[in-house]
Structure 1
């Protein structure tokens, strides 16, 4: 008998059940499709740069080739023409520059999603499934499709340029993009996926599940009708059982003879009015804590100094707390946390990778030395570490 062990499938985040890219996931990360105007401008800029590289050929070699084509000179006369050597050199310069241009464009787009035109217009190409670099093969396939379409004058190029407007997913992907599984995005108005730190934080924020709130359990004194007085209030406990108070429907204490029959463990008593609580007593405030992405919960009962190895001398009176951080995105003394009513305050201590508070998907970066408030339910970012503000 052969035992087979199912290996977990290595699937990137952001795919639906059928393995197709989910536009909602990309939108939640902050990725925005490239605008059609800037996309066309990037294409035109790449073409113009290519034309500039052809100038040595057109200026130094084409006039001599035109004389050969019109019969003004013979092939023998072409080779022995005084300008033949210059024409050959100019043609070789154009070929060398064009080849270098194509290789640089190919490598840059495969590894960084970047061309000269995309760099000027703030666009990047990514793999639509992994949301990472597209790779050399897809970039080459995409370029070949554009080149083949250009064989048909005007019409072929026009179809390629107009095809992003007919994307059924409304993500601005043209025919060549869909064939190569690529997506062109705007990094000026949205997230730059090649910023590894920001991308990692965005994935963690989207992937993190909200912590379910603890359901409030009603007590015996909780009224079922708003504004109504409780029908029953437990009395003091004694060794024989519970001394209860029966109340009439109008809220007043019922006569002793109307009380239910006594039983084992229950003692009838005269109506006892509830003693009012002292005016000085107030309900205790909820304790605040941070629940980190590793599952660790750190209570914030007083000023807390967070970091890989916080220096207590930098914040007298604050309790230092070490956090494990394999990525070393945390500074030794990263931030000072101070509990407040309903949350806490985050004071960045000049850390290298900064601190921020994320509320409703919007991140507010902390300025070093300035307190940034965070309420229960917000997410605090310390470097690459994420923690939710919770009530303990």
Structure 2
């Protein structure tokens, strides 16, 4: 263990995280040695107080000092749970650059879940065998989750920018927004080959032309003069303000290409449309490491929003929002995106979500 810039640190030769353990790229599991050191720091104060109180009680019987020690220990445990639940780290974890976050969203787990997690650790700590079993479970478990982590759906990771608590969902958009937000994608190309070593990214708009402007409504017969109206029969029709077009959704590939999403888009190593998806755009990903499934992701416009769905992939998918929080996708359950700037990770690859005005 060494001191770096006022923060305790331990050298770890290998970092484990990302798609290898079903997390977004750039999210790494906390090394067990640093977790142990952080645990020692965080529980040193309350355990020392409890031990001192027990020694006093055994020696001289219950005293005011023993009660004070016990109350201080309880107070510390509550404070620690509040810090973990709202800030994702107690003093020890903060010093060692670790965080406790929700497995499926990367956000602080809340005080209630933090208290439950602490209670489970305390109960296991009453038995030396319990601690041994807990340690063994964290060693063999893919995401290094002990019983206390799995009970509250948490994971301990290396420190990263902390996302704010998830806001309450906005009311659902009106049904007629779907017609206004979706535009037909009439390009003839069906498959886009995305290569890791692509040399010439295609400029935005070069291969995905905008839809032609609608022709003026027919008001007179072709080739015939328009009948004249009597002056007294003409009425002034107030002009209607033009409704601004909804910004088009697009995905930005790793090679810089921008693909406008006008219809269903399927992404994978060799994507195959399902029933009723014959007009889907297929984006083929070159992935020699085979971290991407054949049909890994489906992306589609839904009204003014975007839906991203994992198609039962082997290595999973995740969406990282602009605040740094992430959401692990559940197979075949659409995830709704309402604004640009999200990063969709799948295998060792990713696409960025954008909008074109």
**TM exceeding 0.5:** no
Structure with larger Rg: 1
Q: Shorter-chain TM-score: which interval?
A: 0.3 to 0.5
Compute the TM-score of the two structures, normalised by the length of structure 1. 0.36
Compute the TM-score of the two structures, normalised by the length of structure 2. 0.39
Larger fraction in helix: 1
